[in-house]
Structures are given as structure tokens and as C-alpha cells.
Amino acid sequence: MKTFCGRANPTTGAMEWLEEDENYDYHQEIARSRYADMLHDKDRNVKYYQGIRAAVSRVKERGEKAIVLDIGTGTGLLSMMAASAGADFCYAIEVFKPMANAAVKIVEKNGFRDKIKVINKHSTEVTVGPDGDMQCRANILVTELFDTELIGEGALPTYEHAHKYLVQEGCEAVPHRATVYVQLVESKRMWSWNKLFPIHVEAEDGEKIIVSPSEMENCPGVPSVCDIQLNQMSSSDFTILSDVVTMFSVDFSKPVRSASTYYRVQLEPVKSGKAQIVLSWWDIDMDPSGMINCTMAPYWVKSTSAFQWRDHWMQCVYFLPNEEPVLQGEKVHLTACRDEYSVWYKLQKARGEEENKADVRVESPVCRCQAHLLWNRPRFGELNDQNRTRQYIKSLMKVLKTDSVCLCISDGSLLPVLAHYLGAKQFFKTNHLEDKIKIIEARPELLTSSHLEDKKISVLVGEPFFTTSLLPWHNLYFWYARTAVTSHLTSSVTVLPQSASLHMMIVEFQDLWRIRSPCGTCEGFDVQTMDDMIKNSLNFRESKEAEPHPLWEYPCKSLSDPQQVLTFDFRKTVPQHCLSTEGSVNLLRKGKSHGAVLWMEYHLASDISVSTGLMQISNEKGNCEWNPHCKQAVYFFSSVIESETLSDLPSAVTYAINFNTKTGEIAMDFEL
Ligand code: SAH
């Protein structure tokens, strides 16, 4: 059997359906999965184990047999914990076939074959009865079906169904309860991911300000949550406007209702300011007493010093539909609306309770301005980055002439607007008609001279940025597009950026290494089968691939100097042959070489460059500052070299990097 996978072709920028081996999808799923991260989450595992032991004892104390239902067993971990805690029997449900197979192997290897039955079904398909999947209903319900937003993976409908059909009334649930917390903040940085700020253009005849149209100003945006590693957000990036309050909680030991609903709380702002953002996270109590608590609270809230890093559960940023001024001490109502899978928020001034109630509508906000569909959150942030814009303006000013015919190739770019504003004066002075921006709805290779009103292009610009790009070098599509429009360019055309370069650096991650690192044993259970499975999936295509990560969220330190490894000259067309390079990079600091980070830099003009990766190495220790709007490429080494001292450092890492001009992909190999 063959499967088709949608993927953007970096040489055409178009989505293509590629015929893939039937295993491709599943290998991707395993290789990029969060299972390793969960198995490394000591805090989570320890607390689940404690909660499960407590639940089994409570059932045993009542003189009952402990029958466990583990929905979404994954590796089988929680069922094995239950069996070890003395459960009489466990039904381990797993919908994802490769995982169910792995669970069977892991359960056997750990000697629980008689105690745990793995069922490869979605829980809603599971039957109960003498001929059913389960002999009888369970009296302990164990699950870990939560995402950063708590309910995004379908925990509510799954619980609703389980209580109706799969567990006994009054069952014990681990976790027992989940609670969602919120805090109201003002944050220019986070708000810049949701609204386009005025853009200041310093043209020769003074400053001009580009403001967004009112539909955009007033647009409620898209409802989807923005999940981030909030602990990487400096406290100087936001102002706290309210205390942390409980928004809602769910008791998993009782019937759960998944139907859309809303919750509301009254907040008394602790500070006056502009309410823009609701920060949110949750915790789970593993037992009814609340003594075993696992929390996602960020650093400024959490009291414990023992901090657990994890990537499978982060924190949520919700954008209010519009910013609302609030006054210290003047109460406001915050409403959380939710459907089965997601949550969104609104804020109202406290008025008569009835009056407010009438206002509550549970429909989720819909973007009316299109911009939120065109630009994702990091892209909004990038377009709002005044420093970056300044570099583009400076470069445009260098290349634009009064009679320039300018073509921009980039998705959702403001460059044409900037160019227009910069050129406006000249047009005006030379008494030309007001310049206009023409949007050509044609792919570059299909561009005709009539699109261009028979003019030749004298200035070709791009950021470059394309929404389909996954890895940094996929924006080299600009180069292919430039090649496709060659016949429409003047012989002395200026291309901005004139070139790009690929840079590479060896790093030690503070935490990100966990997501790809084998686990061996987890709370005493042998989960090596899972490690092997991940390794096998990573090697599925023989050559390992780099993966995109926004490194501002994942601290690392540089172990080598950054090195420029390839350059791409946009003034020329894409060559027929591959571009490859080999070399070595010296290790300068002791540490663990977890992998290489790669990013692109664009050379807009001879002395103006922008980096989509490293911004600077901030101190002696090698801590790195990354472009906060872009994902960088991370290539994890399959073996980690650790050096305690500089003298036992391997002096260098050798690399071979190949840019295949036919496919637009980069293959790489490293040797430590
Ligand atoms: N219990 C494991 C794995 C948790 S990940 C652990 O704690 O380590 C969640 C798993 O649940 C995934 O493997 C997913 O495929 C599975 N899953 C989610 N909803 C499910 C459902 N309703 N029925 C069966 N499996 C489900």
C-alpha cells in the first residue's frame, strides 16, 4: 500500500502530493513523537506512580478487586505501574497501532503479560461483557490524555464516554482532578504576535507611519491557543495585571460533560494597564486529597525549586479579542468559553450580573481581516520587529530609484508597501501619478510580460519568506523564483537580498536533548523497546533529517564558533549542480555536543544582513540569543560526546553538507 503525503516543494513553493512508503507517516509520527519527552518527565512519572499506588490501596481497602482501565497506554507505562502497585487486572487501550504493538512487547518484557491486556482500539470502540474487550467495568481509571491546553487531545469526550460505558460509578481516577489557572497580563511582545503595530518609515522627506486598516485593528483574530515555553519569557516582557485565579476544574472521578460551556470569574486588577493577554496553565491532582500535585505553573508562580523541564506540556497564551484598559481595583469579568477541544477568552467590565450573562456567547471568534489566516503568530512578531524593518528600509533606500520597476516575491510581505512609501516622494516630485502596487496572481514561472505591463524588472526583492517553508533553507525558493523570472529582469537588475548564507554551530542544549534521547528504564520499567522504535524511525530514510525548532524557547550554549558553510548568490540563477561543502569546526568549550544548529542569513545589501538564527553569543559561557521569530534547524547527533575538560575534547567536528539544487533539500552528515 502507498500513502500520499502533502509537502511543499522548496523548488516550486507549491504543495505537492508525494507518494510515500506506507510506513512513512507512522515513522514520522514515532520519530517526532513526544513519547521520549514524556518518559523523561520524572516529575510526571513519579506523581502518576504515587497516585496510582494510592488509588489501588483505596480500592483494596474497600475489599474490592482493583480493575484498571488505562486509556491511551502508549508504552504501557501507567498500566505497568498499576500492576506493580497490586492491581488485579489492567485493560490498556491504545488507538495508535504501532504504539499498541510496542506496548505488547514492553509489557511482556517486563513480565506483566498475565496482568495487562493491551487493546488496540479507540476507547469509544471498546466493548464490555463476557465476550467483550473487557470482562467487566473497571473501578480505577488511569489516563494521560492531556495537552498544553488540557483538553486539546480530546480528554473530555473520552472521559465522558468512559464514565458512561467503561467504568463503575464511584471509580477512582488518576489523575483525580485538573484545574486550569489564568492570569491577566499586558505584554507588548506577546501582543505583537496578534496585531500589526504601526510601522515607522523614515523616508528622505521625514517619518511616515503605516497603520493597519480598521478591520484589522478590530479583528478578534483566530481562536487557537498559542502554546509556548513561557518560562523562557523574561519578566520584563510582560506586566502582571491580576493575581493567578482558578478558571475551572474537572473532577475525573465523576461523569464528565464535554458539551460546550463557559466559566467566568471576577478579577480585581492589581495594576492599571491594557489587558491584552490571558496566560494560562493547569495542574493535576493525582489523588482526592490534593497532596500529589503536578503543575505547569511558570517560574514566577511556582514555589518549588525543583523544576521539571518538559515539552509535551507547556503554557498557553490566549489573546483577548481586543485590548481593554483596566483600572487597579476596578473589577472585571473574565469568561472562558470552551467546546470539546479548545478554550478561548473574553473580558468584560463588571456590571449587573444579569446584563453580563446575556452577553455570553460561546461561539469562538472568527478572523474577519484575513491577516490572521495569512500570518501566523511568529510571522506577526517578525513583521512587527522594527529593527528588522529598519534593515529592509535602509537596504531598499539604497537600491530604489525613481524609475525602478520593482517585483517582490514573498508571502504576505510588507516590502511592497515599504517600497511604495519610500518611493512616494520621488514620484510626487517628478510629477508622476501616484504609484500603485499591483498584486499579480501568478506563480513566478507563469509570469508573462503582460502581467508586468511589458516592463522589465529593475529591482527584485524578497524577504525572503514563504508560508510553506519548514526548514530555514526552504525560503531559498526565492532563488528558484528569481531563476524562473530571469527573462523579465533587466540586465542590470538589483536583487535584494543579493545573497544568502547557511550557518552552522555545534551546541549543548540545556533541555531540548531530552526529546530525542533514549530513556532505557523509566521508574524501574524497561522501555528500551520504545527507544529502539524511535531510533529505527529516525533512521527510516537512512540519512537523518534536521528538524525545525524555535530556539529562543530552548536555551543552548555554543560549543563552537558559528561557521558559514554555504552561500547562495541570488544575482545568479540556481546552478544545475549541487552545492556541497566539507570541513571541520573546532570545539571551544567543554560540554555535551548534542547537535548542530543551522540557520540562514540574508545579505540585503553589501553591508546590511539579517539573521534568522543566531543574534549573538551573550557571554563567556556561550549562551546564545536566537532570532525570536524564526525556527532554526536542529540536527541531533546520534551519539553525544561529553567532555569534562577541554583536554579530552575531540578537537573538532567534521561535517559534510550538500544542497541538492534539484530538490531544494539539504543533506548533512557529522562526525565527532
Ligand atoms: N499513557 C502513556 C502515554 C500517554 S500519550 C504515558 O503516560 O506515558 C497518550 C496516548 O493515548 C497516545 O499514544 C494516543 O495515541 C492515545 N490515545 C489518545 N486518546 C485515546 C483514546 N480515546 N483511545 C485510545 N487511545 C488514545
The answer to whether the CB of 94 is under 6 A from ligand 1 is yes
Cα gap 598→612, rounded to integer Å: 10
Distance from the CA of 225 to the center of ligand 1, in angstroms? 21
Nearest C-alpha neighbor of 511 from the set 459, 553, 449: 553
pLDDT at 55 over 70: yes
Look up the CATH number of the domain holding residue 43: 3.40.50.150
Inside any domain, residue 165: no
pTM for this predicted structure: 0.94
Inside any domain, residue 379: no
Work out the pLDDT band at 5, boundaries 50, 70, 90.
low
Mean pLDDT of 79-97: 97
pLDDT at 349: 84
Inside any domain, residue 252: yes
Prior bond to 464 cis, omega within 30? yes
The answer to whether the CB of 78 is under 6 A from ligand 1 is yes
pLDDT at 206 over 50: yes
pLDDT at 166 over 70: yes
Look at residue 525 and give its three-state secondary structure: strand
Mean pLDDT of 260-281: 97
pLDDT at 363: 75
pLDDT at 15 over 90: no
pLDDT at 429 over 60: no
Say yes or no: 41 and 15 in one domain. no
Say yes or no: 9 and 40 in one domain. no
Pocket test for ligand 1, best of 145, 165, 258 (most atoms within 8 A of CB): 145
pLDDT at 496: 96
Three-state SS for 425-475 is HHHHHCCCCCCCCCCCCCCHHHCCCCCCCCCCEEEEECCCCCCCCCCHHHH
Distance from the CA of 33 to the center of ligand 1, in angstroms? 12
35-38: long-range contacts at Cβ-Cβ below 8 A with a sequence spacing of 24 or more? 35/74, 35/75, 35/99, 35/530, 35/534, 36/514, 36/515, 36/516, 36/517, 36/518, 36/519, 36/530, 36/531, 36/534, 37/310, 37/311, 37/312, 37/514, 37/515, 38/74, 38/144, 38/310, 38/312
pLDDT at 114 over 80: yes
Mean pLDDT of 109-121: 98
Work out the pLDDT band at 426, boundaries 50, 70, 90.
very low
Cα gap 356→396, rounded to integer Å: 51
Phi, psi of 343 (to 5 degrees): -125, 145
Phi, psi of 638 (to 5 degrees): -75, -25
Q: Which helix (H) or strand (E) holds 182?
A: strand 177-186
Say yes or no: 478 and 503 in one domain. no
The answer to whether the CB of 75 is under 6 A from ligand 1 is yes
Nearest C-alpha neighbor of 7 from the set 18, 20, 23, 21: 18
Mean pLDDT of 198-205: 84
pLDDT at 449: 86
Encode pLDDT of 122-152 as tens digits: 999 999 999 999 999 999 999 999 999 999 9
> What's the structural domain count of the chain?
5
Look up the CATH number of the domain holding residue 257: 2.70.160.11
Inside any domain, residue 173: no
pLDDT at 508: 96
The answer to whether the CB of 99 is under 6 A from ligand 1 is yes
Inside any domain, residue 360: yes
User: Mean pLDDT across the chain, nearest whole number?
Assistant: 91
pLDDT at 335: 96
pLDDT at 351: 66
Of 23-32, 236-245, 656-665, the one with minimum mean pLDDT is 23-32
pLDDT at 329: 95
Q: What is the DSSP letter of 331?
A: -
pLDDT at 176: 98
Of 6-20, 251-265, 449-463, 468-482, the one with minimum mean pLDDT is 6-20
* Catalytic positions, written as ranges: 144, 153
- Residue 492's domain comprises 385-496
pLDDT at 108: 98
Work out the pLDDT band at 446, boundaries 50, 70, 90.
confident
Mean pLDDT of 651-667: 94
Cα gap 86→396, rounded to integer Å: 71
Say yes or no: 319 and 363 in one domain. yes
Pocket test for ligand 1, best of 45, 77, 121, 144 (most atoms within 8 A of CB): 144
| Closest residue CA from atom 3 of ligand 1 | 74
Inside any domain, residue 356: yes
Say yes or no: 422 and 571 in one domain. no
Mean pLDDT of 160-165: 98
pLDDT at 174 over 70: yes
Encode pLDDT of 562-602 as tens digits: 999 999 999 999 999 999 999 999 999 889 999 999 999 99
pLDDT at 421 over 90: no
User: Are the beta carbons of 41 and 144 closer than 8 angstroms?
Assistant: no
Say yes or no: 121 and 205 in one domain. no
Cα gap 399→460, rounded to integer Å: 10
Say yes or no: 609 and 543 in one domain. yes
pLDDT at 645 over 60: no
Distance from the CA of 124 to the center of ligand 1, in angstroms? 13
Closest ligand 1 atom to residue 39 Cα is 8
Say yes or no: 189 and 315 in one domain. yes
Inside any domain, residue 10: yes
pLDDT at 27: 78
pLDDT at 425: 38
Q: Strand ranges (DSSP E) for 299-409?
A: 315-326, 332-338, 343-349, 406-408
pLDDT at 46 over 60: yes
Say yes or no: 226 and 358 in one domain. yes
Mean pLDDT of 384-407: 92
Mean pLDDT of 312-340: 96
pLDDT at 8: 78
Of the residues 334, 367, 400, the one at which a domain ends: 367
Higher pLDDT, 133 or 222: 133
User: Are the beta carbons of 624 and 558 closer than 8 angstroms?
Assistant: yes
Inside any domain, residue 373: no
Say yes or no: 456 and 505 in one domain. no
Of 443-452, 457-466, 485-494, 537-546, the one with minimum mean pLDDT is 537-546
Mean pLDDT of 384-396: 95
Say yes or no: 17 and 61 in one domain. no
| Closest residue CA from atom 20 of ligand 1 | 72
Of the residues 457, 473, 496, the one at which a domain ends: 496
Identify which of 198-212, 278-292, 408-422 has the greatest average pLDDT: 278-292
Cα gap 181→280, rounded to integer Å: 5
Say yes or no: 437 and 345 in one domain. no
Closest ligand 1 atom to residue 124 Cα is 22
The answer to whether the CB of 72 is under 6 A from ligand 1 is yes
Cα gap 136→66, rounded to integer Å: 12
First to last CA, the chain: 39
pLDDT at 356 over 80: no
Mean pLDDT of 333-355: 86
pLDDT at 169 over 50: yes
Mean pLDDT of 486-515: 96
